[in-house]
Structure 1
Amino acid sequence: MIIKPEELDFKSVYKLLTGLVIPRPIGWVATVSEDGVHNLAPFSFFNAVSADPPTLMFSASNSPNANKDTSRNALQTGEFVVNMVTENLVEQMNDTAAPIPSHESEFDYAKIAYAESTVVKPRRVANAPISFECKVIHHHHIDGQRGGSMMILGEIVMIHINDQIVDENYHTDLEVYQPISRLAGAFYARLGDQFVLKRAQ
């Protein structure tokens, strides 16, 4: 099978990408509007992109005439927080994907406990074992027929980690962490079998 994306409709391309590029980590991104409304939404077009400086990226699709609340808030304030999603939080994460009015907060809608951040204004999810406070350092609009997407990169300025997840040598205990990843459609994944493969010398 050979596919030329420009010959497919948007829905088919989306299904291919989200079904083939798997598993994808989920960035649960918190922002705050200029009016003080706290927003929280999950993004699976998300990843770490640099260690020097430590940088995270998420990409939010746009409607034809506007950015999503998350990208709009991040660009207006220059700040966001990425909370990592674990097995015990997956239901609440899913609740925050519901389309609610911009003047309402997903923290309130999904009854999510929050904690104040240390450096930035957006709240963090209190029960998330890992949260990254970020300052926007770059953004790029990807043009598209349906509004395209907004890719936002943020430098990590503070990390909150549950003490049981990372030891004094900064090694992660995956059995304690229990991260969730996104597959296609309504499918998600837990960590499965693991194996060791040392990098070629």
Structure 2
Amino acid sequence: MAEDGAPGFRHFDFTAMSADECYRLLASSVVPRPIAWVVSRDKDGLVNAAPYSFFNCFGGDPPVIALGILPQPDRPKDTARNILDSGDFVVNLVTEDVAEAMNLTCIDAPADVSELDLAGLETAPCEKVGPPRIVASPVALECRLAHHIWTGPKQLLIVGHVVAAHYRRDIIDDGDRPRIDTAAMGMVGRMHGRGSYARTTDLFEMERPRWSEYKAARKD
């Protein structure tokens, strides 16, 4: 690390830093991050659930999400192995009312333990993919593996094609162009550190600027 060329900034050379140092800075600054509560299934049919906050949506045509899965100290995550083996997974979104259950599924349980059973979570079958969805989650995205990239030793980037979705009726209307009551969902996101989360209740709005209106205002 060194003084930055611009006054008031510090410069960090990530190519000369350890993985832990890079992770700590990135995970503490790229916030808040939405949480993907991923359900997958292994070859023997055991269902696994785990949350991942290196996650977002990245397109609508086709609809895709991306998921970053970091390694455990000694092996790849069960989620990574399950997705690569089966090609199917479900992303459940996390609201404040299920945050504690989500946190319990972070536990370092043995591979033969189902986190869903441990947290007492009810599931329901999906329409197009093998793993089930979590009923307590207000939104579940059924995904099929589209691409995967090994970005480091045991570190995996998953791109999933969203083939179906489930929305709880109290957050979406029945119109031809359905609208979601996003504020009513009470979503949470990851912040810095191991146990820091953010609510999505403190919101503000800004209109997207238009060039014609901007130029007209500058002339007045």
Instruction: Give the TM-score band, short-chain normalised.
Output: over 0.9
CA shift, 1:163, in A, is: 1.2
TM-score of the aligned structures, taking structure 1 as reference length: 0.93
Give the CA RMSD over aligned residues: 1.4
What is aligned with 2:48? 39
SS at match of 2:169: coil
8 Å CA contact retained: 2:39, 2:131: yes
SS at match of 1:11: helix
Query: How many angstroms apart in 1 are the aligned matches of 2:99 and 2:74?
Result: 31
What is aligned with 1:161? 167
What is aligned with 1:181? 189
Residue-by-residue CA offset, 1:25-54 (whole Å, 9 max, x unaligned): 000000000110100000000000110101
Gaps of at least 5 residues in structure 1 are: none
SS at match of 2:82: helix
Aligned length: 198
Query: How many angstroms apart in 2 are the aligned matches of 1:200 and 1:94?
Result: 39
1:66 is aligned to 2:75: yes
Query: How many angstroms apart in 2 are the aligned matches of 1:156 and 1:60?
Result: 18
What is aligned with 1:170? 178
Q: What are the residue-to-residue correspondences of 1:95-114 with 2, within 5 Å?
A: 95-114=104-123
| Paired residue type of 1:59 | G
Query: How many angstroms apart in 1 are the aligned matches of 2:113 and 2:144?
Result: 23
| Paired residue type of 1:159 | A
Q: State which of 173, 184, 191 in structure 1 corresponds to 2:200.
A: 191
| Paired residue type of 1:139 | H
Query: How many angstroms apart in 2 are the aligned matches of 1:191 and 1:59?
Result: 22
**More relative contact order, 1 or 2 (CA 8 Å, 6+ apart):** 1
What is aligned with 1:17? 26
SS at match of 1:164: helix
Residue-by-residue CA offset, 1:105-145 (whole Å, 9 max, x unaligned): 111122111111111111110111000001111100002xx
C-alpha change, 1:64 and 1:92, in structure 2 (3 Å) is closer
TM-score of the aligned structures, taking structure 2 as reference length: 0.85
Q: Which is greater in Rg?
A: 2
SS at match of 2:11: coil
What is aligned with 1:2? 11
Question: After the TM superposition, which parts of structure 1 deviate over 3 Å for at least 4 consecutive aligned residues?
Answer: 63-66
Query: How many angstroms apart in 2 are the aligned matches of 1:132 and 1:83?
Result: 6
What is aligned with 2:62? 53
Q: What are the residue-to-residue correspondences of 1:112-131 with 2, within 5 Å?
A: 112-131=121-140
Deviating more after overlay: 63-72 vs 45-54: 63-72
CA shift, 1:11, in A, is: 2.2
